[in-house]
Amino acid sequence: MFIPSINSDTATTMKLICILPVLLLASVKPAISSLRRYDSIFSFGDSFTDTGNDIVVIPPVIPAAQPPYGMTFFGRPTGRYSNGRLIIDFIAEELELPFVPPFLSHNGSFRQGANFAVAGATALDAVFFRDIPDVGLLVPNTSTSVQLRWFESLKPSLCSPAQECPGFFHNSLFFVGEFGFNDYSFAVFGNTIPQLRSIVPDVVKTISVAIEVLIKQGAMTVVVPGIPPLGCTPASLVFFPSADPADYEPRTGCLKDLNEIAVHHNFLLQESLENVRRNHPSVAVVYADFFTPVIEMVESPHKFGLTRNALRCCCGGGGKYNFNTSGPSCGMPGATVCEDPSAYLFWDGHLTEEAYRYIAQDWLNSIHNGSNLMGLQRIANI
Ligand SMILES: *[C@@H]1O[C@H](CO)[C@@H](O)[C@H](O)[C@H]1NC(C)=O
Ligand SMILES: *[C@@H]1O[C@H](CO)[C@@H](O)[C@H](O)[C@H]1NC(C)=O
Ligand SMILES: *[C@@H]1O[C@H](CO)[C@@H](O)[C@H](O)[C@H]1NC(C)=O
Ligand SMILES: *[C@@H]1O[C@H](CO)[C@@H](O)[C@H](O)[C@H]1NC(C)=O
């Protein structure tokens, strides 16, 4: 990767820094003509993917239903936890499909896709968290298995008789997750790090069971995102501050222990995807890396046109990370919003549209790569 030298002419350097993110995007962007065509997108997950289900599930007042959410792209709050589009929105645009409509709040056809993701959703069923003091009862009943039930209930309107369904889903792109981020975010209260680590295999198992269910329905392309660095989110940094500098990664300023949980989850998840691939050699199972791009942006914000302190939220209630657990959150009276969200990695603790745009290009590349490999394999098998 080209890194502008700080010794060269300053004006040139500044220009290079400004155009660098654009160049990076251009270099990883697959040509649309070379992308496989999909007729629909079905997605499962949490607030990183929710395009409006939360408005129905978490009444009466959710922050993401208030301004300034949506200020950059939609011009109004839509229930998305960002200032604009999410990764799933950029991917839909790139595949020339409509924004994936939220299953619970869209009054219309789902033949081009449905989004079952809900803010706060966990992989494990809510009952698993019930006994955790304070937070246990806040875990919504929207886990992976609940979202799969919603999918099941939608099927008759997509394909009937049922024998038509595998054919219909052959040409769909499925997203399973990200799941897991909320499992750890809830479980971290009232559990030690080793206890948290011990639930990782169960979380991963739940995700791989969901993938198997979808493959049985006819899914041929399944994208499975890992989780972002848990120890870098402003919420983690504010809830679990440490006086010991050794608890922070020197290169990022993120919490070591929590990032290690994320690394462990992503490692076990990739291992289990290998298993799924072995069981279903004709299905493209694509791992989408949510960890590395965020770490890259935290480590070298300037390469992405971001402000120096990448861990600070654009929108929030004050404090070092502009994330205030005892004060207003983004969308509530008293919170403030930065002037230029595109210079920020974090919007409200979730990411800004600009960050999602970059990650979406990375994932599109992986999807492209994954489905190409399958194509080659099919040719080889003939
Ligand atoms: C859904 O759409 C139909 C037809 O467009 C309309 O008659 C109906 O009132 C709508 N329902 C809701 C809950 O918005
Ligand atoms: C959770 O939601 C599902 C589907 O909406 C429902 O069938 C189930 O009874 C709910 N479970 C609880 C414990 O509320
Ligand atoms: C957090 O919000 C509370 C209540 O509005 C306020 O008193 C406090 O100063 C804020 N904390 C920081 C660090 O800004
Ligand atoms: C494409 O897939 C191959 C094989 O899985 C992998 O080694 C390579 O890193 C992938 N490239 C990208 C850009 O994802």
| CA of 84 relative to ligand 2 center, distance in Å | 31
For residue 103 the two structure tokens come to 């299953």
Q: What is the pLDDT of residues 345-362, one digit of tens each?
A: 999 999 999 999 999 999
CA distance 49 to 297: 20
CA distance 204 to 210: 10
Residue 153 in contact with ligand 2 by CB distance below 6 A: no
Candidates 40, 43, 47, 143; catalytic one: 47
Candidates 348, 362, 368, 371; catalytic one: 348
Sorted by where each begins, the domain ranges of the chain are 37-292+355-377
Lowest mean pLDDT across 20-24, 27-31, 216-220, 241-245: 20-24
The beta strand positions in 62-139, using DSSP E, are 113-115
| CA of 141 relative to ligand 2 center, distance in Å | 6
Residue 324 in contact with ligand 3 by CB distance below 6 A: yes
Among the atoms of ligand 3, which is closest to the Cα of residue 327?
2
Candidate CATH numbers 3.40.50.1370, 3.40.50.1110, 3.40.47.10, 3.40.50.1700; the one for domain 37-292+355-377: 3.40.50.1110
Structure pTM?
Answer: 0.88
Check if the beta carbon of residue 86 is closer than 8 Å to that of residue 356.
yes
Check if the beta carbon of residue 237 is closer than 8 Å to that of residue 257.
no
Which positions ≥6 away from 91 have C-beta within 8 Å? 41, 173, 360, 363, 364, 367
| CA of 333 relative to ligand 2 center, distance in Å | 33
Q: What is the pLDDT of residues 140-162, one digit of tens each?
A: 999 999 999 999 999 999 998 99
Residue 316 in contact with ligand 3 by CB distance below 6 A: no
CA distance 177 to 185: 15
